[in-house]
Amino acid sequence: MVHPVVKLVAQRIALGLLLLIAASVLIFVGTMVLPGDVAQSILGQSATPETLANLREELGLNVPPVTRYLNWAWGVLHGDLGTALTNGKDIAEAMGKRLGNTLFLAFWAAVIAVPLAITLGLISVRYRNRWPDKLISIVTLATISVPEFLLGYISVYFLSVKFRLFPSLATVFDGMTLGERLFAISMPVLVLVLAVLGHMMRMTRAAILNVLESAYIETAELKGLSPFAIIAKHALPNAIAPVVNVVMLNLAYLVVGVVVVEVVFVYPGMGQYLVDHVAKRDVPVVQACGLVFAAIYIGLNILADVISILANPRLRHPK
């Protein structure tokens, strides 16, 4: 008999693969229905009908859409993301360094945001309905409400222009030390932390407050444990599943939602790479970037589901 945990994990992974296939179809169809002619945008308005026809034939634009999708999907399965139309370079090779930069940025934002959000959530619960709780709620609600690009420009004005504490452009290149890289990305990291901190803190607070209504919490109080010990040792471990879910969703956002932040700070990551090629109407690059973003987002959601399943003792020990 298959263990319930194994069965649930297998179901989540299978569902994730189906979602990825559906996302690839939507990405391909979305780029195909864009207005305008790809060949025309590459060659310009002065192109002759003959050169346009030759380029369409070379790019495979005359092939039926279903065949084009299957050829593209088959290439992706074999690690071939195609060739950029604008410069003829291999997309996978060009994207590798950019993806590394984006993951580097997201990693350091997560290193700061996750423990800070959980700590603020614990403090907010400990001082519920008192001034620390109200202050934390107001600040995090404000950061949630302000768009990332506006947070970025406000940060640039105060921290880069007015007080000259951090660089306004996040320029990274080969040969930089870790310290130099961290200083260069300090501004986009700050904006990303502010963007996701509120969601994680508020979810942590709500999950712990829900657990505090349980009978065993009252037992811990009767034993004479301090309020913070009750929250940290008894309430938080039992509220970990929803907290893990919201943390993983925000980690996915850190990777997938960095497009605006990278553009604001001219950071050489996936977001900037995608925006540059959207402007040039380089369809293969847009498709590849969209698929990578979708795979990361779905993968982190699957990981969140798996961790939530493994964190549930009723599923680990069904008897």
Number of domains in the chain: 1
Query: How high is the pLDDT of residue 193?
Result: 93
Residue-wise pLDDT tens digits, 36-90 = 667 777 776 777 788 878 877 777 777 888 888 998 899 998 888 888 887 788 8
Binned at pLDDT 50, 70 and 90, residue 315 comes out as low
Parent domain of 97:
92-281
Domain-located, residue 240? yes
In this prediction, residues 213-234 reach a mean pLDDT of: 80
Domain-located, residue 114? yes
Residue-wise pLDDT tens digits, 202-221 = 888 888 888 887 777 888 88
Q: Interhelix angle for 148-155 vs 186-211, to 10°?
A: 130
User: pTM for the whole thing?
Assistant: 0.84
Query: How high is the pLDDT of residue 36?
Result: 67
Q: Give the three-class secondary structure for 90.
A: strand
Is the predicted pLDDT of residue 143 greater than 80, yes or no? yes
Residue-wise pLDDT tens digits, 2-42 = 777 788 888 888 999 999 999 999 999 888 877 666 777 77
Query: How high is the pLDDT of residue 175?
Result: 86
The CATH code of the domain that includes 246 is 1.10.3720.10
- DSSP string for residues in 183-239: HHTHHHHHHHHHHHHHHHHHHHHHHHHHHTTSHHHHHHHHTT--HHHIIIIIIHHHT
Residue-wise pLDDT tens digits, 253-289 = 888 878 889 999 999 999 889 888 887 778 889 899 9
Query: How high is the pLDDT of residue 186?
Result: 94
Domain-located, residue 195? yes
Domain-located, residue 23? no
Residue-wise pLDDT tens digits, 156-174 = 999 999 998 999 989 888 8
Domain-located, residue 311? no
In this prediction, residues 121-146 reach a mean pLDDT of: 90
